[in-house]
Amino acid sequence: MDPGQLIIFLLKAVAVVLAVMTLAGYTVLAERKVAGWIQGRTGPNRTALPILGAIPVVGTFLRRLGVFQPLADVGKFLFKEEPFPGHVNKLYYLLAPALAFIPAMTTVTVLPFGQHDGAPLVLANLDIGILFILAVSSLGVYGIILGGWASNSKYPFLGGVRSSAQMISYELALGLSILPVFLWTGGTLNLHAVVQEQTHVWFLFVQPLSALIFLVALFAETNRMPFDMPEAETELVAGYNTEYGAFGFGLFFLAEYTHIIIGSGVFTVLFLGGWNLWLPFPEGIFGAVLSVLVFLAKVLCLVFFFIWVRWTLPRFRYDQIMNLGWRILLPLALANLIFYAIAIAVIDRVL
């Protein structure tokens, strides 16, 4: 790779990372605003830049919308005094938030988010893209486990143990649920090829059970209600992050919301046709921008669904989560895989 190509690649990488981090920050704002809407209250509505005071109507509207709240949150986490309990294992205590955040950001490198004249818009168009995402995203649980263990406190430790058990339980069903998708596409693991197969019909309509199992497992993998056993504030204070504050606390939750965004992107690619809208995109830059906007709209709809479910359903008990993972989702995923394997073999033989 010559220096010019390297610079362009680095600029693209920085742009994608900044876009994902910005989305994660505003997903936190959306969480608070949607929670307020569901609960009949306002949510954040007091944060604004002082310079906007000179524009009363615009400034008031943006303040009430809360668009500058993420900037205030970032400033608070960066400049707030960092608590450092004396009883923690210092090295691993500091390392845990980074271990939770880095895998979440790494997976975005192989996720296609649009196309330009038929070529995918992606940092690394790997032929084993889905394997890379599953392998790297599963490493995020080590940050949670390490944070709970390094805190040397019973509530964080219990949160870390719960997280590891939950991840193991639902990763099996999650992996099995997507195998029929790749059987349908001829065995390719390239995510752009999967999107191309959905030009006319989304896999959501072809394999609805696979989509349902994947979505439920995705909720469990991202520790979202009703699967937030690693936190469970009514039982564990705040779970694995009880002893964290300021920047460490912020990294843990930035990682969680990044996982939600990337998970929504993967679901969009696998089951919602990626950027496809059953209409051909125009050539050139306009078509590329339109494909990215379509993909982003689908992802944001899924993010809203994540938030909606959190503030609608109560938390499951731990035994209910284990039963759902091992006794319901795993057998369903196996039966679903066998059914589609037989169906695809019959269709190939007939055609």
Per-residue model confidence as pLDDT tens digits over 219-254: 988 888 788 877 776 667 777 788 887 788 888 888
| Rg, the chain, Cα only | 21
* CA–CA gap between residue 227 and residue 222 (Å, rounded): 8
Q: Average per-residue pLDDT in the chain?
A: 84
pTM of this structure: 0.89
Per residue in 270-303, pLDDT tens? 999 888 887 777 788 888 889 899 999 999 999 9
> In which band, very low, low, confident or very high, does the pLDDT at 210 lie, cut at 50, 70 and 90?
very high
Half-sphere exposure of residue 114: CA atoms within 13 angstroms, side-chain side: 21
* CA–CA gap between residue 88 and residue 150 (Å, rounded): 6
State the average pLDDT over residues 167-191.
88
Look at residues 204, 209, 303, 217 and name the one whose alpha carbon lies nearest to residue 260.
303
- Answer whether 310's CB lies under 8 Å from 231's CB: no
Lowest mean pLDDT among 73-77, 109-113, 298-302, 315-319: 73-77
* CA–CA gap between residue 212 and residue 207 (Å, rounded): 9
- Rounded to the nearest 5 degrees, what angle is found at the Cα of 318, between the Cα atoms of 317 and 324? 90
Half-sphere exposure of residue 298: CA atoms within 13 angstroms, side-chain side: 24
- Structure tokens that stand for 175 in this block: 């992996």
- Answer whether 111's CB lies under 8 Å from 265's CB: yes
Half-sphere exposure of residue 87: CA atoms within 13 angstroms, side-chain side: 8
